Structure 1
Amino acid sequence: MDLTGKTSLVTGAAGGIGLATARLLARTGAFVVATDVDERGLAALAAELGASVTTVTGDVSSPDDVRRMVGAAVTERGRLDIAVANAGIIPLSTVVETSPEDWDRVMAVDGRGMFLTCKYAIEIMLGHGGGAIVCVSSISGVAGQHGQAAYGPAKFVATGLTKHLAVEWAAHGIRVNAVAPGTIRTARVKELGDEPGGREYLATMAAAHPLGRLGEPEEVAEAIVFLASPAASFITGAVLPVDGGYLAR
């Protein structure tokens, strides 16, 4: 997957799947606009990738911030070829435990943020003949799970956007796909082991994946970069499980 000369945007790039994706895009030759609310994490990424990356600190739920993120690609390279809508938060709570404020916060980042990233990326891509968007959904955006009353529905937004936008913009050379990761060993997931009931939850989730383990961020990044690359030129509207067989049960 040679992406030399391509300009990419990765939201939520300071850690987890976003960080792994930014690294892989840079390794395959793409220039990366890396964005996050975590300024310190972005600084570490910039030090690691050097001239292959520029960083933008911002909140994907803010239209002005997302316009700045997309605008950075145009400023730096004059175009945007790849957008990875990854930024999100992952609360674990039942509908009884979830407050209206919790719901609004998750929908603002995971739902509205996904919408804004796609919207402003497409506006730029239309000006130079197309591009590829990859939304990061989840197994929770395809099937129901316990304790994800806000997060799961927000990830259904990612899945729905993928399918509708793929149809809407295919004629303009814009492909829109998604990955649906299973439980991935991000920093947040690793922290669960130190929380009450966290070890039991992680053991249960590992057993629920037929491969018998949790996934790694780099494994999801490989799927994202494949979908964004010319190797996937006849794929659009797909939601690719990267889940160790979870959804196949």
Structure 2
Amino acid sequence: MANQVAGRLADRVCVITGAASGIGRATAERFLWEGAHVIAADLDEERLATLEGVVPVVGDVSREEDARRMIATAVDRFGWLDVLVANAGVIPLLSVTEAEGRDFDRVMAVDGRGMFLTCKYAIEAMLVSGGGSIVCTSSISGVAGQARQAVYGPAKFVATGLTKHLAVEWAEHGIRVNAVAPGTIETERVVAARVEPGGPEYLEEVLRAHPMGRFGSPEEVAAAILFLASDEASFVTGAILPVDGGYLAR
């Protein structure tokens, strides 16, 4: 990063959900380095408090009033909104026989409804200020089928579909909507999976499906999000950008 030029998001006002850890945290740190004003939203108040240089908002994206407040904080504090990174999500590893209805409802509430709500309020704000960029976090599970993703995968197909529909609907208003589709990334969730029943075996199998022979880093996904959020992607909308070590190219 030391060899790169800072300022690609200079003075841009950006909301990042799920910012306390993993991809969201790496994105917040990268956006700050690029000169952005970052509103960092997450349920984890303790971990969010360790993220320096941001405007923190503690809340649940699946709750309408919380999602609205995340966007309103940006507008109230800075006057407008340029970028939303709709990243908040939960990632259970469950087959359809292991999962129960409440598991499906929980994931859809956060990964599906939460993304819908934050995009909705972001678009409303961007219409006032004359446009903007939204980057959703989808997944390889939102493009192709995977084992043990019976509840997570469908929610990420929601992310992929929402990205495409919103991109078409709002392009004429200067609002671009894209998504990243990460492969398996070395986040806290992957670390936890290594000690869960069946987790090591699952990760070993998934690793073999990544042609590059390794998992990605949160910083690598953050770099892709930065590109899509920035003016360098000014003619890119409706794209689902894999950051997956070749997984989807098989």
CA contact (8 A) 1:166 1:176 kept: yes
Equivalent residue in structure 1 for 2:30, among 4, 12, 24: 24
How far is 1:165 from its partner? 0.3
Report the aligned-residue RMSD: 0.8
Structure 2 counterpart SS, 1:211: coil
> Structure 1 stretch 205-214 or stretch 194-203: which is displaced more?
194-203
Paired with 1:139 and 1:113, the residues of 2 have a C-alpha distance of 19
Match of 1:246 in 2: 247
Question: Partner residue of 1:130?
Answer: 131
Q: For residues 110-155 of structure 1, give each alpha carbon's deviation from its aligned partner in whole angstroms, at most 9, with x where no partner exists.
A: 0000100100000000001100000000000000101111100000
Aligned twin of 1:75: 76
Q: Which moved more, 1:120-129 or 1:190-199?
A: 190-199
Report the secondary structure of 2:39's partner residue: strand
- 1:42 and 2:48 matched: yes
List aligned pairs for 1:52-201, cutoff 5 A. 53-201=54-202
Q: Distance in 1 between matches of 2:60 and 2:214?
A: 32
Gaps of 5+ in 2: 1-6
Higher helix share: 1
Match of 1:213 in 2: 214
Give the TM-score normalised by structure 1.
Answer: 0.96
How far apart are the structure 2 equivalents of 1:195 and 1:99?
18
From 2, 5, 15, the equivalent of 2:21 is 15
Inter-partner Cα distance in structure 2 for 1:8 and 1:26 = 10
Preserved CA contact (<8 Å) 1:82 1:133: yes
Q: How many residues align?
A: 244
In structure 1, the partner of 2:10 is 4
Matches of 2:134 and 2:230, distance apart in 1: 10
Amino acid of the residue matched to residue 108 of structure 1? A
Contact 1:205 1:214 in 2 (8 A): no
Contact 1:133-1:174 within 8 A present in 2 as well: yes
Are 1:228 and 2:234 counterparts? no
Residues 75-116 of structure 1, C-alpha deviation per residue, up to 9 Å, x if partnerless? 111000000000000011111111111111110000000100
1:194-248 CA distance string (max 9 Å, x none): 2222222222221210000011000000000100000000000000000000000
**Runs (5+) with no aligned partner, structure 1:** none
Deviation by residue 1:38-59 (Cα, 9 ceiling, x = unmatched): 00011000xx32xxx1000000
Post-superposition CA distance 1:1-20 (Å, at most 9, x none): 61111000000000000000
Q: CA deviation at 1:162?
A: 0.5
Letter in 1 for 2:11: G
Shift of the alpha carbon at 1:191?
1.3
